[in-house]
Structure formats: C-alpha cells, structure tokens
A and B are shown apart, each in its own frame.
Chain A
C-alpha cells in the first residue's frame, strides 16, 4: 500500500517570502502521479500542481514549483513570492497510473501567510 507523509503540520511565513512544504511517499510502483492540492477555508479542493513520475523535469506553475526526487521518494512544493491568498491547507497526494487510480493523501500542512 502507498503512504504519503507530510511532516510539517503547520507553517507560517511573511507575505512575499518563499516557503517550501515537504512531502515524502512510499510505494513499490514505478508509474504514478504526484499532486499538491490546496484547500482554502471554503473547503474546495484546488489542484496546485501535478507531476508525472516518469518525467525527470520538475513541474512548475507560475509561483509554484516542485522538487521531485524519485529515488528519495520526495516531492516538496515551493511557493515563491507568497501571497495572502495562499493561506490554506496543502495536501500532497499520490496516485497509481494503473488500476483504480485512487488518490492517497498526506496529513496536510496548514500554511499561513502573514501580512
């Protein structure tokens, strides 16, 4: 079974700073996806960024980028120039590319951006 671990329950930074959220996972699969989802106070889950395991290049989406280390099974999220609207719960998630394709979530990191 796959597991996803987020070791930082809470983080807090000042607006405009850069912050990195950590995520590690455990799997015997070789073909999978990794995701970061954001859950703001509205509780709506929003996809932040997606990484395909077979791609070595780290995914980027504007101010959001990942550091994907497949051998180390690490998938951290970097938020640059943080904004007040980035305040939310962030969940790291794993999905096999084959079979039922269920999402396995980490415990979440509560990120607060302070003005």
Chain B
C-alpha cells in the first residue's frame, strides 16, 4: 500500500516549452502533496506544498509563475514548468501524506522525474 507514482520518469524538452509532471497517489487519498527539486549529488529542496482544492504554498525563492502547481483531486497533483530553460533541468520528486491516516509523519515518495531542457 501507500504507493505514489510520478509520470513521466524522464522528459526532454526544448527551451521555451512547458512541461507537466504528474504525481498520483495510487491507493490512498492525499490532501497534501509536496514538490521537491534535487540537484546532482545534493539534497532535496522543498519547492512548494500542494493542497487539494486550494492554492499551493511556495517556499521562499521559488517562482510560482514558473512552477505552476495544481492539486485538482485527492489523488493527483501536477507540476508544470513553464517556459523551461536549461537551468530548470533537474530531478523533481513529489511526496504525499495520507489523508486521515495514522499520524506517523510519514510521507510517501514518488520515483522522481528527470527533466532535461535543451
């Protein structure tokens, strides 16, 4: 149980285009999902907190117009990188908290999505 799936796992796009990454909780409902960015050999940096039915909360320094987050249902959050540039190339990871689950603090992580912008 408690599986989170990200799609696509790898994506290559041209500079100036937009790319959408999906994060789905497959066997549970998640009112809250989190999006992280990870540079090579570095730690995970929280970008934003995605709340179902409301606007995402962005961390300081993260451009909300650049990284659009939509949490339209209890099982799906999407991250859209708009007008992508080579510096947006990175590994993006989502995590989800089970709604109504036991308060263990545990988050379930997706497999990650590697974005390469040419």
- Where the two chains meet, the residues of A that have a C-beta atom closer than 8 Å to any C-beta of B are 33, 35, 42-47, 50, 52, 91, 95, 97, 100-108, 110
Contacts and interface: CB of A to CB of B under 8 A. Distances in A.
A110 B111 CA distance: 19
Interface in B16-74: 32, 34, 38, 41-44, 46, 49, 57
A33 B105 contact: yes
26 contacts: A33-B104, A43-B38, A43-B111, A44-B109, A44-B111, A45-B109, A46-B109, A47-B106, A50-B104, A50-B106, A95-B105, A97-B103, A100-B49, A101-B97, A101-B105, A102-B46, A102-B49, A103-B44, A103-B95, A103-B107, A104-B46, A105-B44, A107-B43, A108-B42, A108-B43, A110-B41
Interface residues of B, number: 22
Contacts of B44: 45, 91, 103, 105
A102 B106 contact: no
A40 B104 CA distance: 23
Given A35-B105, A43-B91, A103 B42 contact: no
Interface string B93-117: 1010100000111110101100000
Contacts of A102: 34, 46, 49
Nearest to A32: B105
B111 A103 contact: no
Nearest to A102: B46
Of listed B42, B43, B49, B97, residue having the most chain A CB within 10 A: B43
